[in-house]
Amino acid sequence: MDFQLSSEQKQIKEMVTEFVDEEVVPRASDIDKTDEFPADLVDELAKLGLMGMPFPEEYGGAGLDYHAYPIALEEISRGSGGLGTIVAAHISLAGNMVYEFGTDAQKQEYLTPLAEGEEIGAFALSEAGAGSDVPAMETHAEADGDGYTINGDKVWISNGSVADTVTLFAKTDPDGGNKGISSFIVRPEEDDGFIVEGTEDKLGDKGCPTAELRFDDMWIPEERRLGEEGEGFVQALKTLNGGRITIAARSVGIAQAALDEASEYASNREQFDQRIGDFQAIQHKLADMDTKTRAARLLMHSAADKKMRGEEFIKEAAQAKLYASEASREVANEGIQIHGGYGYTKDFPAERMYRDAKLNEIYEGTSEVLRNTIGQQLLD
């Protein structure tokens, strides 16, 4: 793996860094306070071509590789964890489902507006009784004429209340286990029976609405099924595998933000007639924070490199997400410690970064599930 960024990757990083510093960082506190979807910032990201980064230009994307995409997402997440989730769920989950498993006609009709940022995407897999245990889902799709009637509920759906396209998983064969799950493209504004029950009041990740969805005799045409019946479970696993690289990117971005804030504070805060950064104890904390952030970034790019080469990357993606997510929480925690009492107040962003970091260990594969995945890969 080449550790030097290409000229294109450098340009992307510089462009996104400038946008984040000028437009996102100044808004991050307000987004956290109001928990409102930052539609104007999403529109600006779309104008910069950042809402369809890895997708081909023929479908409205920017055609970026899987190093440039996580680099950009890391920067976005450095500014706002919630905005990072909005982009990751939109691209890596909803958009990627259509790109990887849709027909050309489906890509032209549904992926293109997602990639161009004209529409927002969501990925509806989890249920109250089927989080990590996907086959336990109860949402079902029954054949009905030249389509399907869908009934059920989904929870923890990022972008769920603002999405124009939702990739939905439902059982088409209740007795089929893993092979009885299929996936569909749902259009909330077009499909009667699509109901947003509400959104969660979360610890962090503010600005990204996490919705509970209900489907009440919702009929959709057969041409909106992705792939063949029974392929949904495998599609979900493949999609989440790639998505773990981008959650690692979100984690690295938050860790970098916490490190930057702590470094600045340690350089300016004085106690006992000297900067607290002159104390060895603080220097050691900063050293560990930087080392963990750099290690997480390298694991992220290592997994991305294998994905780009077309190699198996299940273990590497799980390791990147596992390490980066736990590192982000540890780095953010030390950031609060360096700030002392001020870090526990909302006058400083350290506490927001800690709240945003915690989510990384939970969604798109908990740390416990990821350790299972890594262990199984080592033994297979």
Determine which helix (DSSP H) or strand (DSSP E) holds 165, and give its type and residue range: strand 165-171
Active site residues: 364
Q: DSSP labels for 198-266?
A: EE---SS-TTS-EEEEEEEEEEEEGGGEESSTT-HHHHHHHHHHHHHHHHHHHHHHHHHHHHHHHHHHH
* C-beta atoms surrounding 163 within 10 Å: 29
- The single residue listed with the structure tokens 């504070």 is 265
For residue 360, report the phi and psi dihedrals to the nearest 5 degrees.
-60, -30
Q: Do residues 171 and 140 lie in contact, with contact meaning Cβ atoms separated by under 8 Å?
A: yes
C-alpha 182/C-alpha 184 separation (Å) is: 7
C-alpha 10/C-alpha 379 separation (Å) is: 39
Q: Do residues 84 and 263 lie in contact, with contact meaning Cβ atoms separated by under 8 Å?
A: no
Q: Do residues 189 and 183 lie in contact, with contact meaning Cβ atoms separated by under 8 Å?
A: no
* C-beta atoms surrounding 7 within 10 Å: 7
Residues comprising the chain, all counted: 380
